[in-house]
Amino acid sequence: MSERIVILDFGSQYTQLIARRVREAGVFSEIHPCTLPAEEVAAMQPSGLILSGGPLSVYDGEAPQLQPELLELETETGAPVPVLGICYGLQAMAHLLGGDVEAAERREFGPADLTRVASKNGAAGNGGGDGAGALFEGVPEGSTVWMSHGDHLTTLPEHYEVIARTTNAPVAAVRDRRRPHYGVQFHPEVVHTDYGRRVLENFALRICGCAGDWTPASFVEEKVAAIREQVGPDAHVMLGLSGGVDSSVAAALISKAVGERLHCVFVDNGVLRKGEFEDVQEAFRGHFDLHLKAIDASERFLQALDGVTDPEKKRVTVGNTFIEVFEEATEEVAQRAGERPRFLAQGTLYPDVIESVSFKGPSQTIKTHHNVGGLPEELGFDLIEPFRELFKDEVREIGRLLGVPERIVGRHPFPGPGLAIRIAGPVEREKLRLLREADAIFISELRDNDLYDEVWQAFAVLLPVQTVGVMGDERTYEDVVALRAVTSVDGMTADWAELPHDFLGRVSGRIVNEVPGINRTVYDITSKPPATIEWE
């Protein structure tokens, strides 16, 4: 791969957004920890380097420092590798070069208006463009930038000059007059910075001189090559297919790399939605070059779930049973293939990575999400996680490219523990039946009314209460279903979806009429936080 921008992560929660914005500019980018030795960064021959923000102050004893060699990297032609420091990244550069960074009197957080400052030495152009102006080409005066910092730069290093300020920050952006090194105190990667995408695009295309011709199709090509290299000519790969977007697209991608050495295991865990077991098999069997083993283990799961009411116990039960079934399937593959598969592929996405590494992250303490469906290290596989740096919509785009059917690619997320966490109270067969029917009506109405793609996730939940109703002349005393639909970007926060009233009325009417056993529906109008998306 010829062009890539390397992003060194100093611990910011926004680092992935930087990578995403650079990819949107058509340049491949990848994230590495700021502690990666400079020689290894140099060996990647980056077209440019971006230093992310971070939560600490450069004077903090534990603060990650910038390795001096990183500011001296050269391209193949001997030109200096351009560097862009963002917030902490800028402070780390300045601190290393003898500038002063101080704690601001109060933390600056929120929007500010950007004003460019004329270069005192416009003649010293570098790295394409006019040097000083290249970073802000096409960015209007006074446009909004997003600030979030406690420290700021008070004395610039030698050869540095200010190229932009805001009302509160005299140093909003700087550059090195001698070489293509830039720093911004604001966050160009967040959507609150109006022209932030443009700033990063300018860095990638104008300053680093990248062509900007990288596409998701190139991602596929590169990943396929990388997976082939990682797996080698003979080894086998296991993959737990859930029918969700992430594992399905991972299966399609990895099958392109290793073909029939990919063994997908799709388990009916008894808590799938209506028609799902057949649907997923239909989408894959005969359409992709892979082994698909569909295992109906529903009895085993339902027995294990018998009498379990605690949501976390449900998760653990489904998770552990899945591990047992998966291990048995692995043994079978080993017998057939003549050797135990060495690799395990997972459709882990970037938000899963952040949620599981942030020790204080909300989902860590509230629910044990990502332990379910994930497999324990003791199984001894080497992992293949091709989407660790991508967001769901990027994975969807790749899935479409690979020919994964739209009904799978465009699917709402579905939790590993399935309907078990959508039945409040014990998971019983009859309750599962009611819930499946109600859920199928809700989803098919959403699809028929072009509302399915408008929401991040929608589903029905069966409540552990009976209420009184009247059907014809008869009194009924039956179950209640709650309908849940939310809009969200990544599932970490969510708003309840304002679905049209007549639509909700129709869904409710159909459910109580067509699903005997349910006589009432309610619509959940709680956002996350304070609620979560699922009810358990």
- Residue 424: C-alpha distances to residues 104, 249, 415, 446 (Å): 50, 31, 15, 24
Give, for 335, the enclosing helix (H) or strand (E).
Answer: helix 311-337
Greatest distance between any 2 Cα atoms in the chain: 89
Catalytically active residues are: 87, 187, 189
Least CB distance from residue 369 to ligand XMP, whole Å? 4
- DSSP lists the bridge partners of residue 41 as none
Residues ≥6 apart with Cβ < 8 Å to 311: 367, 421, 536
Q: What does the alpha-carbon distance between residue 518 and residue 430 come to, in Å, rounded to a whole number?
A: 12
SS3 category, 8:
strand
- Cβ neighbours of 353 (radius 10 Å): 16
DSSP state, residue 479: E
Pick the binder of ligand XMP from 95, 149, 315, 436 (CB under 6 A). Answer: 315
Choice between 235 and 531, CB closer to ligand XMP: 531
Q: H-type helices in 47-157, by residue range?
A: 88-96
Q: Which of residues 185, 202, 247, 457 is near ligand XMP by CB under 6 A? A: 457
User: Which residues on adjacent β-strands are paired with residue 111?
Assistant: 146
Residue numbers 336-395 binding ligand XMP by CB under 6 A? 363, 367, 369, 372-373
What's the burial of 76, exposed, middle or buried (CB within 10 Å: 0-12/13-18/19+)?
Answer: exposed
Which of 167-175, 270-278, 477-485, 528-536 is the region at the interface with ligand XMP (rule: CB under 6 A)? 528-536
Complex with ligand XMP: residue 145 or 494, whichever CB lies closer: 494
Q: Is 80 in the site for ligand XMP (CB under 6 A)?
A: no
Nearest distance, CB of residue 461 and ligand XMP, angstroms: 11
The pair of three-digit structure tokens given for residue 229, joined into one six-digit string: 């290299």
Output the smallest distance, CB 363 to ligand XMP, in A. 5
Task: Rule CB under 6 A: say whether 534 interacts with ligand XMP.
Answer: yes
Which string of x and - marks every residue 482-511 that binds ligand XMP (by CB under 6 A)?
Answer: ---------x--------------------
Q: How far is the CB of 314 from ligand XMP (least distance, A)?
A: 9
Comparison of 202 and 457: residue with beta carbon closer to ligand XMP: 457
Closer residue to ligand XMP in complex, CB, 82/416: 416
Residue 467: what are its φ and ψ, rounded to 5°?
Answer: -130, 165
- Segment 85 to 144, residues that bind ligand XMP, using CB under 6 A: none
Minimum CB distance to ligand XMP, residue 68 (Å)? 42
Least distance to ligand XMP from the beta carbon of 299, Å? 22
- Of the residues 21, 417, 515, 518, which one makes contact with ligand XMP according to CB under 6 A: 417
The correct pick among 413, 426, 469, 517 for binding ligand XMP (CB under 6 A) is 413
Would you call the peptide bond into 529 cis, given omega within 30 degrees of 0 as the criterion? Answer: yes
Indicate the residue among 208 and 533 with the shorter CB distance to ligand XMP: 533
Binding-site residue total for ligand XMP (CB under 6 A)? 16
Asked if 422 touches ligand XMP (CB under 6 A), the answer is no
Q: Which of 162, 419 has the CB closer to ligand XMP? A: 419
Q: How far is the CB of 362 from ligand XMP (least distance, A)?
A: 8
User: Which one among 416, 436, 439, 497 touches ligand XMP, defined by CB under 6 A?
Assistant: 416
Sequence-ordered list of residues with C-beta below 8 angstroms from that of 174, at least 6 positions apart, any chain: 90, 94, 153, 156, 160, 161, 162, 163, 182, 183
Q: Helical H runs in 130-275?
A: 196-201, 216-231, 245-258
The nearer residue to ligand XMP, 261 or 315, going by C-beta atoms, is 315
Burial status of residue 343 (CB atoms within 10 A of its CB: 0-12, 13-18, 19 or more): buried
Burial degree of 354 (CB within 10 A; 0-12, 13-18, 19+): middle
Residue ranges binding ligand XMP (CB under 6 A): 315, 363, 367, 369, 372-373, 413, 415-417, 457, 491, 528, 532-534
